[in-house]
Structure 1
Amino acid sequence: MKNFSARNRARAALLLALFLLLALPGALAAQEVLYNAKISTYFPNSITNAYQSPDLDSKVMTSFKPGQAIQIVEVLPNFVGILVGNKTGYVLRHRIMDPVALDPANTPRFGTAFNRYFTTASREIQVLAAPEAGSQVLITLQAGARLGFLDVENGWARTIFKRQYGYVDTRTLTELEMVAASEQDGTSEVPIAVYNSFYDISDNENNQNRISNLVVGGQRMSLTLEPGQSLDFNNQVGPFRASNGYKPAGALVDGELVFDVYGGGSCQVSSTLYNVILQLNGVTVLRRAPHGANGIKYLPHGVDASSGMLNLVFRNDYSFPISITAHVQDGSLFVAIYKDS
């Protein structure tokens, strides 16, 4: 009996040690490889660091040269987890290129963020930088604003705020609604996919013009697509001129910010829509272009979709119509797609 107890204690100690080891940042990688990729060649004269945790202040594990192959095991808003030997290291998302799924039939398109819940604020709510009271306030939304969430845990609803996670105390939400569990479960009232991005609400003229363009673009984009029908974003939402209600505002052109562009900000509408259709297997993207190697600041790198000089085009390959709606208020641009009867 003594030997049996000793063996059990030794086994328990070993299991505890393994558990603690795996809980440490940069510990032995247990995740499966999701994507093969390369270190970006857009920065040809610099190395790319892999960090021990998704934090630029954490320890540098190793460095990579441009074009070097990597294996991705985790995708976060601002980092990807990659294999570094038998451990996991973290590289900034804008420092990678050409991610390809190892098992495309069972792996989401790179950067897809599935929103499982959504809400319409009935009072003021705050999006915080951490799931704890008193943490940094990222944005304050007013009654009527809409917001999508990835998941809910321990009383906190998690969203993506630009290139980081944001958290909302569910006690401040009157109602938390669920996105349909599958496309077939969707209805004209229950969306099959949602996503929202955030925008600046400062009251200078250029920014107010940009917000006005978001509203106009969202309204012109709200429609129903029949099976087999495509949406050409520029044709539907444009032309971007004053006669269609657009105002001059800042826009990214060849990676540079240019002011006084009619329809400036419309790319945020197309990019937010792109993040909705990424979640849907029955929607085929026919044309999409990023803003440049660095992407745009209001979304994680690699999931933006430029419009205007470039374009977003996609097709409804479901056997049923889908309806697109957009809502712009208080810093949140919310897009939802519904299964139409």
Structure 2
Amino acid sequence: MKKLYKVLSISLALSLASPTITFAAEDAAAEEQANEEAEAVEEEVVTDNRIIPNGISIAGTDVSGKTVTEAQDVVDAYFAAYDNVNFTLSANGQTISAKGSDLCIGAKNNYVTVQAATYGSYGNIAERFKANQDLAAGRTKDFSLSLGANYDGIVRYLNTASSQVNDEASDDYLTRENDQFVFHEGTAGVVVQIEESASLLVDYIENQWDGSDATVELATEVKEPRGSKEELAEIKDLIGAFSTDYSSSSSARKNNVANGVSFINGTILYPGDELSVLNTITPFTAENGYMLAGSYENGTTVETYGGGICQVSTTLYGAVREAELGVVTRSAHSMIVTYVKPSMDAAISESGSKDFQIKNNKNYPIYIEGHCDGSNVYFNIYGKEEDDPGHTVDYETEITGVNVQNTTWVADPNVPLGKMTTTVSGHTGYTARLWKVVYENGTEVSRDVYNNSKYNPSNRTVTVGIASEDANLSYAMLQAVATQDAATIANAIATYAPGVANSTPFTITPKYQVTNQTTTNNSTTNQAPATETAPATEAPAGTTEGTQDAPAI
């Protein structure tokens, strides 16, 4: 639009300087072009210095010699008189008090200033000729203003203001009490229909309003509660369950996990409904019940509100897999976590916009139950069992790649010769996939790739002491460390400090090794797309896992 504005500015300016003869097909487009240019001026907030000819007025106010921008000030002043007019918007037996400015009252023909500046350069040949002759002869031209209201602006206003009068429906719901479901009846609600009400207001202001204080009835719709006692009674079978251990976590981390679980506990999803874990449990603030807990950001330990919360989404992910619900969005962590196997995690990050979203792909409602006991996190998913009794699923992790982290060796003159200390533990990187294996009556019938995951490595740092009364030994050890070669450093320690006790290994043995996933003859194999989203980060239970991305949560 910006480029279009510049082109039109030149074109219309030339047209104003000297009338031209154009084809009839161009005539119909001239006013439309002027309108588009006016919109460009409004959107880009560009100063338009084209001068309006003598003898031109807008709504009776002489704008001769003014620029288009200056003339716009005249138009704005004309409609400013309506800014403080009171509108009473009624709905659902309640009212919203609005001002004319809230309803974006202004010129319906908002291109009038451009028309004034380009008078004589649009219309058919006869009209353009007459307009230019009139101007040359000193005859005046007055452009009228049409009262209007901006539809989009009213929609934005009502999206916020309608909450004053909306009475949202409360769906029928269940609670889980003493291991039994208890039914609770919902209530109907009345809500403002935003778009219909905006159209109604625009029509009233432009065609019926006399400019004085007014009352307008907004369009509303009765919203009935979803569900019924009979429908929710179908929720009785445990179709998915999963738990993870967080017993070694700090008290703050345990609080965050329990707090996040509480927001999800009791969720009912009807067929086709989706759940965003991020939207459900955020914001991560003290006001929302979260505490500061350790996490990593760019290799540095930081305290963040909600630290540990990814264990909530990961545990729910396990229950979702067992229930075979739909997964809309899932991301792996940046670094490997300890409380589940690779590719069994689901990371979330408010700052990184990483979410775990699920969908009820069943034919009946489901109920999500979550709780913590101080040592474990649990999620149970209840619904109606639709599969045959012989149908079971299993999930198998396959490690497809191992990327052992590098070690940075640092000489420490304050530590005894040859003494090694790990100051940054680092993490081995992995690529992994998760296989979903389906059995019918104990026979494998399919084997599909459920997800693909990538976990980044992070380097470890190990200090090596070089302090010694013998300067030659200190220098020799310093030279060995400078090579950054584990074998050279090991030989130096064995040679110059043979009696030193070290528990830090020279080489790293990864927790997981590459595995070879095979399929049976009666299985079908389908590949899931690799996870391409930038992974979120989180510290595992009881520790702080590293990250090279956003703060761990």
Which TM-score band (shorter chain)? Answer: 0.3 to 0.5
TM-score, normalised by the number of residues in structure 2: 0.26
Structure with greater helix share of residues: 2
Between structure 1 and structure 2, the one with the greater Rg is 2
- Between 1 and 2, higher relative CO (CA 8 Å, sep ≥ 6) is seen in 1
